[in-house]
Structure 1
C-alpha cells in the first residue's frame, strides 16, 4: 500500500485527465455543430476506445512528470557530489551562453529556450545546495508548480479543443499546427473573439483549486522521497506502460473507421490528432496515395488536354478573336459560403449587393472551392491546379516562379499586384506572391490617415477598397492595363467592423454581421469604381476563397465547398453557367473571355470550350476528392480509396441550379474509370510540382526585367 501511494502524482493527474476528457466528449457530442446522430455501437466506441486512447496518451505525455519525480533526492546535494554537479551545470550554462553551442546551429528560438532552461536548473540546484534548511519548502513549492502546470495544461487543452471544435467541427488538425506558427494573429483573434479575461480568470481559479486537492493527496511523494529501489520499480512500470502506449495509440487510431466522421473525431484523442497533423504537414503523394504509372496518369490527363505531350501539362491556348487587354480586378472574399446568398436559399438578406450584382453578371451557379483554407483558395485562382496533398503550394518552400495567372498577365504587359488588408507575412502570402512576380500592397503600406478601422486581421474591407481605388487611379494614368488581386479580411472571426454601416452592430461579433458588412463594403467599392475613368474598361471577378465551415457528416461534405463566383463587366449581358466547375477554372475561363493566346500549364479549363468535361476538385490537406458524373471519388493516405454516389437532397423553394445539398451514398461497385481519372489528376499535379515542371520557364527578356523590377 505504501508503494502504491508513491504513484499518487500519476494516478491523481490521470483521473483528472479522464474526467475532463469524458466531460469534453459529452459537451462536443451535443454541440450544435455536431450535426449527426450516433448508433449504440458508435457511442460505445466513442467512450470506450476514447478512454483507452486517453489512458495511453496520458502515459506518453507524463514522461516529463516521471523525469521530474525520478530525480528528486537529497543524496545528490551531499559533498562532494553536489559541488561537482553544480560545476557541471555552470560549465553547461557558460557553453550555452557562448553562442557557439551545437543548438545555435539550428538557429531560431531553440538556443534561447535551452539557455533559459539550463539557467533555471542551475539556479534551483544552487538553492537546494546552499540552503539546506529551506530545501523542503522549496521542494514543496516546486512540486506544487509542476502539478499546477499539468492541471493547467489538461484544462487549457480541453478549452482549446472545445473552441477548435466550435470553429471547425473537428479535433485538432493541420490548421492547429499552422496556428502555432502565426501566434500573433491567432492570439489576437482569440483576444478579440472571446471573453478572454473571464475565461482565463476562471481557468486559473479552477486550476488552483484542483491543484490544491491533488497536492493534498500526492505530497507524500516528497514528504517521504522514494528509495532507489522504489524509484526503480516506478521506472520499470512506467517504461513498460510507455512502450505499450507507443504501440497502442496508433493502433487505436485505426479503429476510428466509422462512416460517420463525427464519431471518428469524438473517439479520437485531440493531443494525438495534433501530433499526427504535425507529422503529416508534408505529404508525399507517391508515398502515401494510390498511384499508377506516370505514363498512364498523363495519358488519362491527355483525354482532357489532347495537346499535352510527355509528363507535363504544357499546351497552347489559341483564340480566333482579337485579344482584349482590359483591366482585371479579382476579388477573393474570405469565407463566403454559397448558402449566404439569397439564390441558394438564404432568407436573412445578408448579401443584398452581391445578390443584385449576380443578376447583372456572368454567374457560375455550380462552383466548388478547392479547399477549406484561404491559402487553398489563393492557390486555386493563382496556380489553377488541383489541391495537392499536405500544405498549399503558397506555404511551401518551393513556391516561387510558378506558372500562374500573374505570369500570364505579365506576359501580356499588365501591372500585377496582390492587395491584402492584413500583414501579407501571414500564411506566407508575401513570399509566394513576390516570388511569382506580384507587387504586394498590404497593411504595412497604409498611412495612418488611410486606416479608419482595423482588428487583428488587418484593416477593414472599406479601407482596403479605398486604397485599391487610389492605386488603380494612379495605374490608369500609365500606358498599360492592370491586374489587381484583392483578398478581403472582414468576414473572419472575430467579425468586428465599423459600427453604423449596416443594421448589425460591429461590436456584437456576429457571423451574419461579418457577411453583411463584407457585402456592404463591396457595394461601396463599386460605387466609387463607377465614378472612375477606368471602370468601363475593367472586368471584375468575384469568388469566395472557401466556405465558412468545412465540418460535416462526411470527410468532404459537398455543401461545405459550394461557393459563389461571378464575372462582371459594365453593360454586359447577364448569363448563367450551370455546369459543374472547379475554383481552378475561373481564371482560365476569364482568359478565354478576353481571347488571350498563351502557352498554358494550367489544369484549370476554359469552361466555355466545347470539349470541357464538367468536374470539380475538393480536398482537405489529406483527403483529395474529384466530383464527376454524380460520383465523389476520394483518395486518402495509406492508398485508401472511397467512392460515393451523390443523390440530390432537394430543398423546396430553391431553383435546381442552386441546390447544394447531397446525400453521399457509398458505391456498391467501384467505378474504376473514375478512380483512375482521380488518381491521374492528383498524381500528375503532384508530379509536375515535384519535378519542377510547373515553373514559369522561358521568360522573354521583357518579362525577366518585369520580374527583376518587382523583386527589387
Structure 2
C-alpha cells in the first residue's frame, strides 16, 4: 500500500496540509478582528473537530493528486500500449489543431489553452516513450513540479484565508466566489492594497522549500512504483476514504453550533465553506450589510411603494376598466447593451430591425438592467424582485413556487411557456421555470429537421424563432391566451451563426456579428408573426437580459447597465417614448397595467405609468447593491460599507438627451443619508422576504 505509506507523497502532502491548517487557525484565533474569548470546550471544537474536518477535506480535495499518482507507471510504455497511447495523443492534438473542436466552437482563449496542454502532454509522453534512459529523470522533474503546484496551492490558500479573515472576519463565503467571477477587479484591488511582489516571492520561496522536503521524503515512491495489484488495493482504500469523507464533512459541519460565531468559523474548513457558498449561492444580508430595524426598513419601502402593508410587499392592484387577456410574448435578448442601438448613438448599423421597431413601440429609453448575468435578467422579468446579495434566485435551491409573472398569467387561464434555444438545464433555468409553473421548450424538444445551425450554446435564433411560431400556432388553436417567454442565445461567445444571413461572416466570431445576426433573426420572427392569425391579439415585450460588458472604472458603472426595452402592439399601444428612470423589474408590472389586470401583487417592480411611481433604478453585482436616484448612485457592500457617487452627464454631441448613456461618477461631497437608508430598505426587506418565505405565490 505504497500510496498510504509514510514515504508516499499523498501522506506527506496530507501532513503538510494539516500543518498549514493548524497554523492558519492559530493566526486567525489571535487576529485583532477576533474580538471574543473562548472556553476550553470551544478550543477543543476549534482544533480537534477542525483538524478531523481538515483531514476529510484533504481526502476529497486531493482526488486529482491521487489520480496522478495512480497513473504513474512503467508498463504503459511497453509495446504495444505505449505506441497506442502516443497515437491517441497525436490524434487528439490533430483534432484540436483542426480548428473544429468544441474548444474552438466556444472561442476565446480556450483553444490556445487546450492546444498547449495537449501538445505538452504529447511531447512529454513521447520523450518518455522514445528516450527510456531519460525516463526516470523526466518523471522526477514532472513529479517535483506536480508536488510544487500542490504545495503552492496549500500555502496560497492559507494566506488567502488570512486576508479574507482580515477583511471580513469569517472563512470563505459567497464573496470569495464573487471574487473568482470578477477576477480582473479583484486582482487590481489586491495590487493596490498589498505588497504583491514581495508577498508572491515569499510564497514561492516557502513553496520551494517545503516541496524539496516532501520530495526528499517521498522520492523512494518513484523507485518502487506500485504494481497493478497494489493499485487496485490503493484504489479500493481511497474510494472507501473518499466516501467516508463525503459523509463525514457535512455532519462535522453540523457540529459548528456554538453561540460564539468565531468558534464556528474557526472550527470550519475554508475550502468546504467555499464549496457551500458556491452551491448555496447566498450571502447573509444582515451579517454583512448595513441594516435598519425591520419595521423602519418596511416603513421606508412604503414611501416608495405607498400601498404596501405591514412587513410585506402585498398590495391590491386595481383597474377601472375590464381586463384585456391578449397573448403576450416576452423576448429577452442575450447581452444586448443599449449602446449597440443607433438610437443611443451607435453608427455601425448593427441593429436595423430593433431600431425600426423602437419607433413603432412604447420605448423605455431610460431603463437599467438589475445585473450583469442572464439569470439576473430572467429573475428581474419573472419575479420583478431586487437583485439580492449572492447568486440569482434562479440558481438557488429555494427557487420554486414564487410569486411570478407566470403565476399572474396562469390565474387567468394562460398557457405559460419558457422557450430557450439551448439546454434549459444550463444555469438551472429548467429547474427554476418548471418549478414556477412554466412548460419548457428548449433544444431537447426540437426535431433534427428543425435544426439548421447550432453551436455550444444551442440552436441559432432563427431556428428558435421558427419553433416559437410553431408553438404559438398550436397554442392559438386551443382558444386560450398564451404567455411565452423566449430567451435568445446567438449573441454570445463564440458568436457563430449561419453564413449568408448578414454582411458579417459567422466565422469572424465577432460581437458585432452576434448583435447583427440576433437583430436579423428577430426581424425574421416578426415577419413570420405578422402573417399569423394571432398576431393582432398579441403584445410583444422586448428587453435585453443585461449588457455585453460589466467592467468599468467604478464598482457599478451605470452605462454598463443601460439596456433597450420596448412594448410593441400595433393598434393597441401607441408608439411613444417613456423617458423616466426605471428598472428592469418594472417592465412586466407596467405591462399588467396596460392590460388592466386586477391582482394582489407582491412585486417590488411597479407600473411606471401610474402617477404614484417614483423614478429609481436598482443595479447590482453579486455583492455590491446599488440604487440610482436623484442623479446619485448609492452602493452598499460588505462589510457594512456605503458609497455614494454624483452622476454628472457627459453628453455626446448630436444625440438626444433621452439617449445619453455616459455619466461621470464622482464621490458625493456630502452624504445623502436618506438615499443610503432607502437603498438599505430595498435590499434588506427583499432578503427578509426570501428568508421568511414570504415571496411565494
**Counterparts of 1:88-99 in structure 2 under 5 Å?**
none
Q: Secondary structure at the match of 2:689?
A: helix
**Counterparts of 1:542-561 in structure 2 under 5 Å?**
542-561=542-561
The 1:238/1:616 distance shift into structure 2, 3 A limit, reads closer
Post-superposition shift, 1:217?
A: 12
Please state if 1:193 is matched with 2:193. Answer: no
- Paired with 1:644 and 1:278, the residues of 2 have a C-alpha distance of 34
Q: Deviations over 1:35-86 (max 9, x none)?
A: xxxxxxxxxxxxxxxxxxxxxxxxxxx9679679x9xxxxxxxxxxxxxxxx
Q: Secondary structure at the match of 2:597?
A: coil
1:568 is aligned to 568
Contact kept in structure 2, 1:615 and 1:628, CA below 8 Å: yes
2:661 is aligned to 660
1:579 is aligned to 580
The 1:208/1:612 distance shift into structure 2, 3 A limit, reads same
Paired positions, count: 527
1:247 is aligned to 162
- Paired with 2:154 and 2:513, the residues of 1 have a C-alpha distance of 54
The 1:123/1:277 distance shift into structure 2, 3 A limit, reads closer
2:371 is aligned to 371
Q: Secondary structure at the match of 1:303?
A: helix
Contact kept in structure 1, 2:451 and 2:463, CA below 8 Å: yes
Q: Secondary structure at the match of 1:379?
A: helix
Post-superposition shift, 1:304?
A: 2.0
Contact kept in structure 1, 2:17 and 2:58, CA below 8 Å: no
2:636 is aligned to 635
Q: Deviations over 1:353-382 (max 9, x none)?
A: 000000010000000000000000000000
The 1:219/1:252 distance shift into structure 2, 3 A limit, reads farther
1:445 is aligned to 445
Q: Secondary structure at the match of 2:591?
A: helix
**Counterparts of 1:320-359 in structure 2 under 5 Å?**
320-359=320-359
Contact kept in structure 2, 1:422 and 1:458, CA below 8 Å: yes
Contact kept in structure 2, 1:395 and 1:432, CA below 8 Å: yes
- Paired with 1:560 and 1:240, the residues of 2 have a C-alpha distance of 37
Which stretch has the larger CA shift, 478-487 or 275-284?
Answer: 275-284
Post-superposition shift, 1:248?
A: 5.2
Q: Secondary structure at the match of 1:463?
A: helix
Q: Which ranges in structure 1 are unaligned for 5 or more consecutive residues? A: 1-61, 71-101, 128-133, 139-186, 224-235, 697-712
2:674 is aligned to 673
The 1:312/1:353 distance shift into structure 2, 3 A limit, reads same
Q: Secondary structure at the match of 2:303?
A: coil
Post-superposition shift, 1:322?
A: 1.4
- Paired with 1:242 and 1:439, the residues of 2 have a C-alpha distance of 44
Q: Deviations over 1:536-557 (max 9, x none)?
A: 1100000000000001011000
Contact kept in structure 2, 1:337 and 1:563, CA below 8 Å: yes
- Paired with 1:372 and 1:237, the residues of 2 have a C-alpha distance of 33
The 1:493/1:278 distance shift into structure 2, 3 A limit, reads farther
The 1:581/1:196 distance shift into structure 2, 3 A limit, reads closer
Q: Secondary structure at the match of 2:609?
A: coil
Post-superposition shift, 1:201?
A: 3.5
- Paired with 1:314 and 1:512, the residues of 2 have a C-alpha distance of 43
Post-superposition shift, 1:247?
A: 3.1
The 1:466/1:290 distance shift into structure 2, 3 A limit, reads same
**Counterparts of 1:70-469 in structure 2 under 5 Å?**
188=102, 191-194=105-108, 199-203=113-117, 246-247=161-162, 251=166, 263-264=188-189, 279=277, 281-469=281-469
- Paired with 2:107 and 2:142, the residues of 1 have a C-alpha distance of 42
Post-superposition shift, 1:641?
A: 0.7
Post-superposition shift, 1:113?
A: 9.2
The 1:279/1:265 distance shift into structure 2, 3 A limit, reads farther
- Paired with 1:527 and 1:482, the residues of 2 have a C-alpha distance of 19
1:589 is aligned to 590
1:472 is aligned to 472
Contact kept in structure 2, 1:385 and 1:685, CA below 8 Å: yes
1:51 is aligned to none
The 1:219/1:540 distance shift into structure 2, 3 A limit, reads closer
- Paired with 2:325 and 2:157, the residues of 1 have a C-alpha distance of 66
Post-superposition shift, 1:207?
A: 8.6
The 1:425/1:595 distance shift into structure 2, 3 A limit, reads same
Contact kept in structure 2, 1:189 and 1:493, CA below 8 Å: no
2:43 is aligned to none
Post-superposition shift, 1:202?
A: 3.8
- Paired with 2:499 and 2:323, the residues of 1 have a C-alpha distance of 44
Post-superposition shift, 1:250?
A: 5.2
2:688 is aligned to 687
Post-superposition shift, 1:303?
A: 1.1
Q: Secondary structure at the match of 1:413?
A: coil
The 1:194/1:666 distance shift into structure 2, 3 A limit, reads closer
Contact kept in structure 1, 2:14 and 2:58, CA below 8 Å: no
The 1:513/1:221 distance shift into structure 2, 3 A limit, reads closer
- Paired with 1:525 and 1:221, the residues of 2 have a C-alpha distance of 56
Contact kept in structure 2, 1:261 and 1:554, CA below 8 Å: no
- Paired with 1:461 and 1:237, the residues of 2 have a C-alpha distance of 45
- Paired with 2:143 and 2:137, the residues of 1 have a C-alpha distance of 11
Q: Secondary structure at the match of 1:346?
A: coil
Contact kept in structure 1, 2:103 and 2:114, CA below 8 Å: no
Please state if 1:491 is matched with 2:406. Answer: no
Post-superposition shift, 1:479?
A: 2.1
1:648 is aligned to 649
Q: Secondary structure at the match of 2:295?
A: helix
Contact kept in structure 2, 1:189 and 1:494, CA below 8 Å: no
Post-superposition shift, 1:245?
A: 6.9
- Paired with 1:462 and 1:65, the residues of 2 have a C-alpha distance of 57
- Paired with 2:157 and 2:688, the residues of 1 have a C-alpha distance of 40
Post-superposition shift, 1:656?
A: 0.3
RMSD: 4.2
- Paired with 2:534 and 2:143, the residues of 1 have a C-alpha distance of 78
Post-superposition shift, 1:668?
A: 2.1
Contact kept in structure 1, 2:490 and 2:518, CA below 8 Å: yes
Q: Which ranges in structure 2 are unaligned for 5 or more consecutive residues? A: 1-11, 21-51, 79-100, 128-133, 145-150, 170-178, 180-184, 204-269
- Paired with 1:273 and 1:353, the residues of 2 have a C-alpha distance of 49
Post-superposition shift, 1:282?
A: 2.0
Please state if 1:525 is matched with 2:525. Answer: yes
Post-superposition shift, 1:307?
A: 2.2
The 1:312/1:206 distance shift into structure 2, 3 A limit, reads same
1:599 is aligned to 600
Q: Secondary structure at the match of 1:287?
A: helix
Contact kept in structure 1, 2:105 and 2:455, CA below 8 Å: no
The TM-score with structure 1 as length reference comes to 0.67
The 1:112/1:263 distance shift into structure 2, 3 A limit, reads closer
- Paired with 1:633 and 1:362, the residues of 2 have a C-alpha distance of 29
- Paired with 1:295 and 1:520, the residues of 2 have a C-alpha distance of 50
- Paired with 2:408 and 2:143, the residues of 1 have a C-alpha distance of 70
